[in-house]
C-alpha cells in the first residue's frame, strides 16, 4: 500500500425526509444563494421542502445551471452573491449544480480573475464560502468530494479544479427525490459511478486489501441494484443503495494509497467536446476498449475483478480476461448505454483526430503507468469503432 492522507469532513444526512436537516445545518442568520438547474425541483416537491426548511432565512434563488455547468452562467450567480452579500451557497440538484456551487463558493471571495481558479486547477483558492448540497441525481460523487468540472463554452474549454476548501459542509441524500428522474439520467449516473471505481481500481495490485474490496463492493452493488433501479425507479431500497454506492465511488476512500488511471475520462471528455455525447456514454464506449488494449499491464486486476465481481473462475487467464471485459461491456449495455462509436454515428476518423488533439495539447503519457500515448489513444478508439 502506498502512503496516503485521507480526509473527508462532509456530514451526510441520508434517507427519507432528510431535507428538513437544512433547518439545523444552516445558521439562522445565513444569507443563502440557492443554486439550481432546469426547474424540475419546482414540480417534484423538492423546492417546496427546501423552502420550508429555510424558513425565514434570506435566500436568493438562481436557476439555470446547465449540464456541464458553464463559467459565464456561474459568474452571474457570483455577481448576485457579491451584490446581495450572501454568505452560504446551497446546491439543489445533481452533480452539475454541486460542481457549480463549488465554483461559486470559491469565486465569490476571490479577488483576481475567477478563471484562474480553473487554470490553476484550484491552487489559487485560499478561501471559499461554506456550501451545502441537496442531491437529486446520483452519479458524480460531487456531494462529498473536493472536485468540480466547469465548462467555458465561449472559449471551448472544460477544466477541473480541486481544493479541500470546497468540501460541502453537509450533503442531503434523500433517494425519494430521485424517483422522478428520466431513465436516461439514472442509467448515466450508475455508469458514471461504476466507471469512477474502474478508474481507481483497474490498475495494478499494491496489497491494498481494504481499498480493493471496498471498490469491488461498490461495483457489486451497482451491478446488482443499478439495472433494477433503472427499471423500477420507485423501489426505495434499490435506489438508496445506488445513491450511497455512487457517493463511495468517488469520496476518496477507494483511491487512497493506490495507483489511479483516469485515461477513460480524459479520452471521453474529448468525445463529449467533439460530438456532444453524454459523459457517461463516452465512458461506456472507451472503457471496454481501453481494458482490451491495456489488458497486459492490467492483467492481475482484471483477473481479480472477474472473479470477485463477476464470479469468473474457469478457463485460461486470457479467456477469463476476455470474459471480464465482455461482462463490463454487457453491464453498460444492460443499463441502456451503447458501447460502440457507431452507435452514436461517430466515424472511425475520430480516433486519429482525438489522438492528434491530445498530442497537440501535450496531454501524453497518462494512465497509471504513464504509458497511454497518443498512439495508444488511437488504438483504443479504433477498437471502439
Residue ranges that bind a second copy, judged by CB under 8 A: 1-18, 21, 207-210, 213-214, 216-218, 220-221, 224-225, 237, 240-241, 244-245, 248, 256-257
In the complex with a second copy, the residue whose CB is nearer, 98 or 381, is 98
In the complex with a second copy, the residue whose CB is nearer, 12 or 286, is 12
Shortest distance, CB of residue 302 to a second copy, whole angstroms? 20
Cell of 248: 463511495
In the complex with a second copy, the residue whose CB is nearer, 176 or 278, is 176
In the complex with a second copy, the residue whose CB is nearer, 46 or 325, is 46
Cell of 14: 441520508
Shortest distance, CB of residue 137 to a second copy, whole angstroms? 18
Helix or strand run (H / E) with residue 247: helix 236-249
Shortest distance, CB of residue 290 to a second copy, whole angstroms? 26
Shortest distance, CB of residue 120 to a second copy, whole angstroms? 22
Shortest distance, CB of residue 276 to a second copy, whole angstroms? 33
In the complex with a second copy, the residue whose CB is nearer, 15 or 38, is 15
Shortest distance, CB of residue 261 to a second copy, whole angstroms? 21
Distance of CA 35 to the CA centre of its chain: 18
Distance CA 150, CA 321 (A): 36
In the complex with a second copy, the residue whose CB is nearer, 59 or 208, is 208
The pairs formed by 157-162 with CB atoms below 8 angstroms and a separation of 24 or more are 157/118, 158/68, 158/269, 158/272, 158/273, 159/118, 159/119, 159/121, 160/118, 160/121, 161/102, 161/103, 161/106, 161/117, 161/118, 161/120, 161/121, 161/122, 161/125, 162/121, 162/122
Sign of CA dihedral 343, 349, 352, 357: negative
Between CA 241 and CA 252, with CA 247 as vertex, the angle to 5 degrees is: 140
Which SS3 state, helix, strand or coil, does residue 161 take?
strand
Shortest distance, CB of residue 138 to a second copy, whole angstroms? 12
The answer to whether 286 touches 271, Cβ cutoff 8 Å, is yes
Shortest distance, CB of residue 301 to a second copy, whole angstroms? 16
In the complex with a second copy, the residue whose CB is nearer, 5 or 316, is 5
Residues 6+ apart with CB under 8 A from 370: none
In the complex with a second copy, the residue whose CB is nearer, 42 or 231, is 231
Amino acid at each position: 500500500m502506498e502512503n496516503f492522507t485521507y480526509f473527508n469532513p462532509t456530514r451526510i444526512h441520508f434517507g427519507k425526509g432528510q431535507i428538513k436537516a437544512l433547518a439545523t445545518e444552516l445558521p439562522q442568520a445565513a444569507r443563502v444563494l440557492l443554486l439550481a438547474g432546469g426547474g424540475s425541483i419546482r414540480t417534484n416537491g423538492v423546492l417546496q421542502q427546501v423552502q420550508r426548511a429555510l424558513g425565514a432565512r434570506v435566500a436568493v434563488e438562481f436557476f439555470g445551471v446547465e449540464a456541464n455547468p458553464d463559467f459565464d452562467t456561474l459568474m452571474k450567480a457570483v455577481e448576485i452573491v457579491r451584490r446581495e452579500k450572501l454568505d452560504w451557497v446551497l446546491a439543489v440538484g445533481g452533480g452539475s449544480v454541486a460542481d457549480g456551487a463549488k465554483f461559486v463558493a470559491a469565486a465569490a471571495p476571490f479577488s483576481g480573475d475567477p478563471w484562474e481558479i480553473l487554470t490553476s486547477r484550484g491552487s489559487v483558492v485560499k478561501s471559499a464560502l461554506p456550501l451545502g448540497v441537496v442531491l437529486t441525481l446520483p452519479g458524480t460523487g460531487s456531494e462529498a468530494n473536493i472536485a468540480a468540472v466547469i465548462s467555458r463554452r465561449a472559449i471551448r474549454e472544460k477544466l477541473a479544479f480541486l481544493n479541500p476548501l470546497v468540501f460541502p459542509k453537509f450533503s442531503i441524500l434523500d433517494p425519494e427525490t430521485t424517483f422522478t428522474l428520466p431513465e436516461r439520467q439514472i442509467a448515466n449516473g450508475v455508469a458514471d459511478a461504476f466507471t469512477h471505481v474502474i478508474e481507481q481500481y483497474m490498475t495494478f495490485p499494491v496489497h491494498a486489501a481494504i481499498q480493493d474490496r471496498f471498490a469491488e463492493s461498490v461495483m457489486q452493488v451497482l451491478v446488482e441494484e443499478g439495472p433494477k433501479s433503472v427499471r423500477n425507479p420507485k423501489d426505495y431500497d434499490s435506489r438508496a443503495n445506488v445513491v450511497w454506492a455512487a457517493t463511495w465511488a468517488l469520496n476518496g476512500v477507494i483511491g487512497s494509497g493506490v495507483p489511479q488511471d483516469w485515461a477513460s475520462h480524459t479520452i471521453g471528455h474529448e468525445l463529449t467536446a467533439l460530438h456532444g455525447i453524454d459523459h457517461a456514454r463516452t465512458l461506456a464506449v472507451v472503457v471496454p476498449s481501453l481494458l482490451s488494449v491495456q489488458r497486459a499491464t492490467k492483467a492481475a486486476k482484471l483477473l481479480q475483478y472477474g472473479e470477485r465481481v463477476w464470479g469468473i473462475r474457469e478457463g485460461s487467464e486470457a479467456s477469463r480476461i476476455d470474459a471480464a471485459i465482455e461482462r463490463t461491456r454487457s453491464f453498460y449495455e444492460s443499463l441502456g448505454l451503447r458501447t460502440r462509436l457507431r452507435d452514436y454515428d461517430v466515424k472511425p476518423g475520430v480516433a486519429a483526430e482525438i489522438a492528434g488533439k491530445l498530442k497537440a495539447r501535450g496531454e501524453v503519457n497518462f494512465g497509471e503507468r504513464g504509458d497511454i500515448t497518443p498512439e495508444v489513444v488511437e488504438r483504443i478508439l479504433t477498437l471502439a469503432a
